[in-house]
Amino acid sequence: MAHYFVGDIQGCYQELSLLLAKVDFNPSRDQLWAVGDLVARGPEPLAVLRLFQSLEDAGNVVLGNHDLHLLAVFAGLKKAKACDHLQAIVDADDGESLINFLRCQPLMRELPQHKLVMTHAGVPPQWDLATLRQECHRVSEALMADDYLEALIAKMYTQTSENWSESLSGIDRLRYCINALTRMRFLHPDGALDFDCKQAPQSMMNSSLTPWFTFKNQLPQDYRIIFGHWAALMGKTDNEQMLALDTGCCWGEYLTLYHLEKNERITQKSLNKG
């Protein structure tokens, strides 16, 4: 069995198909792990969702911020941007089935035998492994509840800088987990999340902001974190414990597939002519 991890697909179905063909991916023997943001910006998010739903146990997805946003768009709580190509999902006969598929996906997946965790944006440096598991489980429970739209999805949006505290409760606790695991890039000196800066660390002019992965984290020292979300990194963190896979396919760069057993990256140039 081979474990393949793929960066932010964001609707780039053709590039994903070419990557899988390069490695002769076979769901009867291999596993495909996706760091989230299956949808948005690329031209074929509907095809991407259908593929991962069809993979069943051979596909392992974590939710990204665009995947969660799709839940809000499908329910009419938010409007989709035309460039995100989400209307095809809203109009699809199997749209509701695909949304229910997304609702079942967690914010974190773990491969204990290989000592790694996968999230969309990263792991807050304040959290140990037990906290990560616990807080992600809380969000999964809320997503599967009958009132998930009004109790969670409608309230998950915020631009207020947030920091972790054990005293957080209710929607504030759930929202911190969602924001940290699906939107995090830079942190303030006190560890609070910043939602404004998306540029590469080497281009950063604000000395008070630091990439989350440069903070000392509380995970076991031999664990690795696989994440996406931050295209400006182009897969580089200068930290062997942190494996970044978003390499900007939907922006005209390339899609990255990581073969765990070979410790190898395979790439496919974007077919986006725009």
Q: Residue 24 domain-assigned?
A: yes
Q: How far apart are CA 17 and CA 132, in angstroms?
A: 32
Q: Residue 274 domain-assigned?
A: no
Q: How far apart are CA 15 and CA 271, in angstroms?
A: 7
Please tell me the total count of domains within the chain: 1
In this predicted structure, the answer to whether residue 274 has a pLDDT above a threshold of 70 is no
- Tell me what the pLDDT averaged over the chain comes to: 95
Q: Residue 52 domain-assigned?
A: yes
For the segment 72-85, what is each residue's pLDDT rounded down to a tens digit? Answer: 999 999 988 888 89
pLDDT of residue 213: 96
pTM of the entire predicted model: 0.95
Q: How far apart are CA 28 and CA 11, in angstroms?
A: 24
Q: What is the mean pLDDT of residues 95-124?
A: 97
Q: Residue 110 domain-assigned?
A: yes
pLDDT of residue 82: 84
Residue 273's pLDDT band (cuts 50, 70, 90):
low
What is the total residue count of the chain?
274
Neighbouring-strand partners of residue 256: 267
Residue 51's pLDDT band (cuts 50, 70, 90):
very high
For the segment 193-250, what is each residue's pLDDT rounded down to a tens digit? Answer: 999 888 988 887 777 899 999 999 999 999 999 999 999 999 999 999 999 999 999 9
**140 lies in which domain range?**
3-269
pLDDT of residue 162: 84
pLDDT of residue 157: 87
Residue owning tokens 């606790």: 173
Residue 12's pLDDT band (cuts 50, 70, 90):
very high
Q: What is residue 243's three-state secondary structure?
A: strand
End-to-end Cα separation, the chain, in angstroms:
37
Percentage above 90 pLDDT, the chain: 88
Q: What is the mean pLDDT of residues 47-70?
A: 98
In this predicted structure, the answer to whether residue 63 has a pLDDT above a threshold of 60 is yes
Q: Residue 142 domain-assigned?
A: yes
In this predicted structure, the answer to whether residue 107 has a pLDDT above a threshold of 70 is yes
- What CATH number is attached to the domain comprising 160? 3.60.21.10
Q: How far apart are CA 234 and CA 218, in angstroms?
A: 25
Q: What is residue 196's three-state secondary structure?
A: coil
Q: What is the mean pLDDT of residues 156-171?
A: 88
